[in-house]
Amino acid sequence: MNKNIKYIARSLEPVLKKAVREFPAVLLTGPRQSGKTTLLKKLFQRKGTIVSLDLPDIRDFAQQDPRGFLASTSRPLILDEIQYCPELLPYIREEIDSNRSQHGRFILSGSQNILLSNTISESLAGRVGVFHLFSLTQREIFGQPKKLFPWEKHPLKQSHFKMNEFWNGQIIGTFPELHSGKSRNISNWHSSYIQTYLERDVRTLRNIGDLKAFQVFLRLIASRCAQLLNLSEIARDVGISTNTAKAWLSLLEESFQIFLLSPYFENMGKRLIKSPKVFFPDSGTLSWLLGLKDSDHASFGPSSGAIFENAVVSEIYKSYFHRGEQSRMYFWRTSNGAEVDLIVEREGRLIPIGIKSSSTPNSKMLGGLKLFRETFQKKVDSVWLASSYIGEMTSVCDVQLINVNSI
């Protein structure tokens, strides 16, 4: 690892260290440039061998002589971009099955979730622990990878931050390379990232002939961030069928560019048939797709509310994954228009969170939270309002949450 590049500690580090003591193989997935290779090198390179299957000559060797390739490497073997050589997986399984009690022999990484999930489930089911690494959370950026959420600790602490720093952070985004200490042209970096994503992941995962139409689709998805998703409307605007739009949305989700929140219902079946909301794990990608290039444009423009909501939701979403946990998160909306922006479900308890970009919280913002607590009072734990207000509150690093349990 280049000593001149700043390493940022990740919340997932202790999770992966534990996993290699419990599983014969470990798989780390996530979007391109999220820091997977850097993290694996930091944790395991001194103990084993790291090999990138993105290199054609190495990939050819592994494909043509898989047993010879595995015999030529020491353990633990770290295989980067494993999706480029799925032919290796049956031979990895063969070695694992020769001694199932030996753990941590293979550490795999890759950035194409659909290929990996299909091939891994077929070849290494029951033998591999699967984890996800997204771009940086705010707690990782600020050197607090183990920081808990406000509803997980007491008492509340006073916290202060500058909102102009928050909005500038939304333009920069959360990819590790942009926080490595090097000076970067942020707009050019995100432009290059999207272009690489289109040319490599999109063409690998789907036979999409018209990449320009797909890029228009991606921008339209960004314009609907934090809103109910109407795919029929987006399909009409792009000039594609609704089925194609559904396939393209799945592609964005499978390649970690977006994630979806379902509405909360006590009846699980209803959650699956109602329109979800769409969010972006990286705020910089979202800002670039929206054409935002400076913090003033982001904070005072028509998308400021969506960007702020995306910041809160993505921080919580990524933080739980970086603990090695599946996030159970929803939103809630009634037919009369009452809404709670985010519901976090933890151990059967519900934590409703209202999200408002206003720095002047008022009682009108609490209507949906009050109704939700009245409706699900037996399940509700604590109630929170995320706001840019500065005062007596506790922090999700850049995003402030006010405890409003007294409403």
- pLDDT of amino acid 112: 67
Whether residue 3 is predicted with pLDDT greater than 60 in this model: the reply is no
Helices 242-254 and 211-223 pack at an angle, to 10 degrees, of 80
Which candidate, 215, 217, 209, places its Cα nearest to that of 240? 217
Domain range 13-132, CATH class: alpha beta
Q: Please give the structure tokens belonging to residue 386.
A: 């995320």
| pLDDT, average across residues 244-262 | 94
Measured CA to CA, the distance from residue 294 to residue 287 in angstroms comes to 9
Instruction: Count Cα atoms within 13 angstroms, Cβ side, for 72.
Output: 9
- pLDDT of amino acid 390: 41
- pLDDT of amino acid 312: 92
Side-by-side strand order, sheet with 49-52:
49-52, 77-80, 106-110, 25-29, 128-132
Total residues belonging to the chain: 407
What are the residue boundaries of the structural domains of the chain, listed by start? 13-132, 138-403
Which candidate, 50, 65, 69, 62, places its Cα nearest to that of 86? 62
**Residues 158, 305, 143: CA angle, nearest 5 degrees:** 40
Residue 350: phi and psi, rounded to 5, are -110, 135
In this structure, of 151-160, 267-276, 396-405, the range with the lowest mean pLDDT score is 396-405
Alpha helices by DSSP H, listed for 102-200, are: 113-123, 138-141, 163-172, 186-196
Q: Which helix (H) or strand (E) holds 94?
A: helix 89-98
